[in-house]
Amino acid sequence: MNDADSRSRARLVLPPGIAPEVFLASMPDVVADFIRTACDLVPEDPETGDPRITAALDGLGEGVAVVVEHGEIVWMNNQLADHSPELLRLFSDAAAEAIEGFMAHPDVVNGESTRLEFAHGDRHYSVLCSPMPDDSSRRTVAALISDVTDLKRTELLVEEIDHAGGDLLDLDPDTINPLDVTARLRLVEDKVIRTMRGSIGFEHFEIRLVDRRSGQLELVMGTGMEPLSIGERIFARNTENGISGMVAASGEAYVCPDVREDPLYVTGIPDARSSLTVPLKLRDRVVGVLNVESNRVDAFDERDQMIVELYG
Percent of the chain having pLDDT more than 90? 27
**Alpha-carbon span 293 to 305, nearest angstrom:** 12
Q: CA–CA separation, 191 vs 311, rounded Å?
A: 12
Q: Is the pLDDT of residue 249 over 90?
A: yes
What's the pLDDT score for residue 265? 92
Residue 120 reports pLDDT greater than 80: yes
Question: Quick check: 205 and 291 in contact, CB under 8 A?
Answer: yes
Between 139 and 3, the more confident residue is 139
Q: How far apart are CA 207 and CA 287, in angstroms?
A: 11
Mean pLDDT value across residues 270-293: 89
What one-letter code names the amino acid at 255?
V
Q: What's the confidence (pLDDT) of residue 2?
A: 42
Residue 104 pLDDT? 84
CA distance 145 to 57: 12
**pLDDT tens digits along 132-147:** 776 677 788 888 898 9
Give the DSSP H/E element, type plus range, for residue 274: strand 274-282
What number is the average pLDDT over the span 47-63?
A: 52
Position 305 pLDDT exceeds 60: yes
- pLDDT reading at 13 higher than 50: no
- Which of 80, 90, 85, 151 lies closest to 119, judged by CA? 90
Query: Can you tell me the distance from the alpha carbon of 104 to that of 99, in angstroms, rounded to the nearest whole number?
Result: 8
Q: What structural domains and CATH numbers belong to the chain?
A: 3-147 (3.30.450.20), 152-311 (3.30.450.40)
Banded model confidence at residue 29, pLDDT cuts 50, 70, 90: low
Please report the pLDDT score of residue 202 as a whole number: 84
CB 276 within 8 A of CB 300: yes
| 183 contacts: CB under 8 Å, gap ≥ 6 | none
- pLDDT band with cut points at 50, 70 and 90 for residue 9: very low
Distance CA 240, CA 264 (A): 8
**14 SS3 class:** coil
Instruction: Yes or no: say if 125 and 146 are a contact pair by the CB < 8 Å rule.
Output: yes
Phi/psi region, residue 11 (left: phi>0; alpha: psi -120 to 50; beta: rest), is beta
Percentage of the chain exceeding pLDDT 70: 64
Kindly provide the residue ranges of all beta strands, DSSP E only, lying in the chain, ordered along the sequence. 63-68, 72-76, 114-120, 123-131, 140-147, 204-210, 217-223, 254-256, 274-282, 285-294
Task: Say what angle helices 149-169 and 181-194 make with each other, to 10 degrees.
Answer: 170
Question: Phi first, then psi: what are they for 168, rounded to 5°?
Answer: -70, -35
| Distance separating alpha carbons of residues 165 and 191, to the nearest angstrom | 9
193 within 8 A of 223, measured Cβ to Cβ: yes
Q: Answer whether residue 86 shows pLDDT above 90.
A: yes
Judge whether residue 107 has pLDDT over 60. yes
- Of the two residues 55 and 92, the one the predictor is more confident about is 92
Q: Does the pLDDT of residue 20 top 70, yes or no?
A: no
Distances (CA, A) of 28 to 21, 31, 126, 127: 11, 5, 11, 10
pLDDT in tens, 149-194: 888 877 776 666 665 555 544 544 555 455 445 555 665 666 676 7
At residue 54, the 3 state secondary structure works out as helix
3-state secondary structure 233-259: CCECCCCCCHHHHHHHHHCCCEEECCH
φ/ψ of residue 217, rounded to 5 = -90, 105
CA gap 262, 256 in Å, rounded? 7
Q: Is the pLDDT of residue 52 over 60?
A: no
Average pLDDT over residues 46-71: 63
Mean pLDDT of the chain: 75
Taking residue 75's Cβ as centre, other Cβ atoms within 10 Å add up to 18
State the average pLDDT over residues 286-312.
87
Question: What's the pLDDT score for residue 212?
Answer: 87
Question: Using CA of residue 10, residue 16, residue 21, residue 26, what is the dihedral sign?
Answer: negative
